[in-house]
Amino acid sequence: MSSPAFAATIKLGGDNGELGFYPPSITVKAGETIEFVNNKAFPHNVVFDEDNVPAGVNVDAISHEDYLNGPGEKVTNKFDTPGTYGYYCEPHQGAGMAGKIIVQ
C-alpha cells in the first residue's frame, strides 16, 4: 500500500498551547485529503457546523466527535462538494477554537 499524499495538515492546538486550529483557514481541491493532527492543549475534536457547509452536505458524516486525547492522534477528511466548510472544536468552542476549509 502506498501512503496517501495529504493536501494539507491542520494542527489541533498551537505549539505553545494556543486553543486553535493551525492554519485556521486552508484551501484545497475537491477530492484531496486533509489531515488533522492532535498537537497541544487537547482534548480536541473536529465538528463541522451544519449552518456553514455547502447545501446537501451531511455534517454528521464528516465530523469527528470523538475526543482526540493523545499527541499525534489523527483524523482525516476528503471533500467532494466545493464550497466553504466551517468547523470547530467542541471543548474549546467558547474559546474560539474554530477553522475554515475552502474546497474548490
Residue 55 CA to residue 21 CA, distance in Å, equals 24
* Cell 466545493, located at residue: 82
CB 44, CB 91: distance < 8 Å: yes
Complex with Cu ion: residue 9 or 32, whichever CB lies closer? 9
Residues 82 and 30: beta-carbon distance below 8 Å: yes
89 belongs to the catalytic site: yes
**Residue 92 binds Cu ion, judged by CB under 5 A:** yes
Task: Locate 96 and state its grid cell.
Answer: 474560539
Footprint (CB under 5 A) of Cu ion, residues 22-81:
44
Residue closest to Cu ion (Cβ): 89
Please report, as ranges, the residues that interact with Cu ion according to CB under 5 A.
44, 89, 91-92, 97
Question: Which residues participate in catalysis according to the annotation?
Answer: 44, 89, 92, 97
Please report, in range form, the residues annotated as the binding site for Cu cation. 44, 89, 92, 97
